Amino acid sequence: MIGVLDYGAGNLGSVMNALQRLNAAARFVRDPEDMRGFEKIVFPGDGHFATAMASLEKLGYVSAIREWIHADKPFLGICIGLQLLFDASEEAPRVDGKDVRGLSVIQGTVRRFPGRKVPQIGWNNTKARASSRLFKGLPENSFFYYIHSFYADPVDDTVTAAEAEYYCTYCSAVERGALCATQFHPEKSGAAGLTLLENWIAGT
């Protein structure tokens, strides 16, 4: 059973619809304790780094997510679900005089694109590393759908599973053990996105 984390973020319905199209057994996670009843967790969403992090803290998900990932259980972050895995973001370095910290399960910072035309909205060529399990069976340069103004900059480049270009070359997907995350939206990326989700579900 796949659990889709519901913490008040948007775009949860489209993720659930994509999983249903793949005939994957899935339902929304009700609360942190409920996570224990699932084999895999999807952490989707869109929105502001500080707002999303505050919601996770208020609902008690922070420790539960960290424990899940440290236990190397299957986890897929999407969009803000990738960015919150990092230490901090230039979108919200401080709020009300306090540093805003992410989940800090991957070392690095989420940075703003250096150009003036942001957010990046639409399809973008995504170059996957040959060793990536998440992109198995997909062309090296596939197109996925993006909408974001900030990108992840990991300290350790070995976690990068794919890259895209928008003013700069940036990390657009990560893999580390059972932890996977994408900056793009596979649930909005047609056949390529569904193949990627199938790969994650299969654990290939």
Angle (nearest 5°) at CA 200 between 194 and 202: 100
The pLDDT value recorded for residue 99 is 84
Q: Quick check: is 187 catalytic?
A: yes
Domain extent listing, the chain:
2-202
The pLDDT value recorded for residue 20 is 93
Catalytic residue among 91, 163, 175, 187: 187
CA distance 115 to 157: 23
What residues in the chain have per-residue pLDDT under 50? none
The pLDDT value recorded for residue 148 is 96
Query: In the chain, which ranges are E strands?
Result: 2-5, 26-29, 40-43, 75-78, 88-89, 94-95, 98-99, 108-112, 120-128, 141-148, 150-154, 160-165, 169-176, 179-182
| φ/ψ (deg, to 5) at 78 | -130, 130
The pLDDT value recorded for residue 140 is 83
Q: How many CB atoms lie within 10 A of CB 141?
A: 11
The pLDDT value recorded for residue 88 is 95
Q: Quick check: is 79 catalytic?
A: yes
Is 53 within 8 Å of 84 (Cβ atoms)? yes
The pLDDT value recorded for residue 56 is 94
Catalytic residue among 67, 79, 148, 180: 79
The pLDDT value recorded for residue 204 is 61
Q: Which CATH superfamily is domain 2-202 in?
A: Class I glutamine amidotransferase (GATase) domain (3.40.50.880)
Is 45 within 8 Å of 4 (Cβ atoms)? no
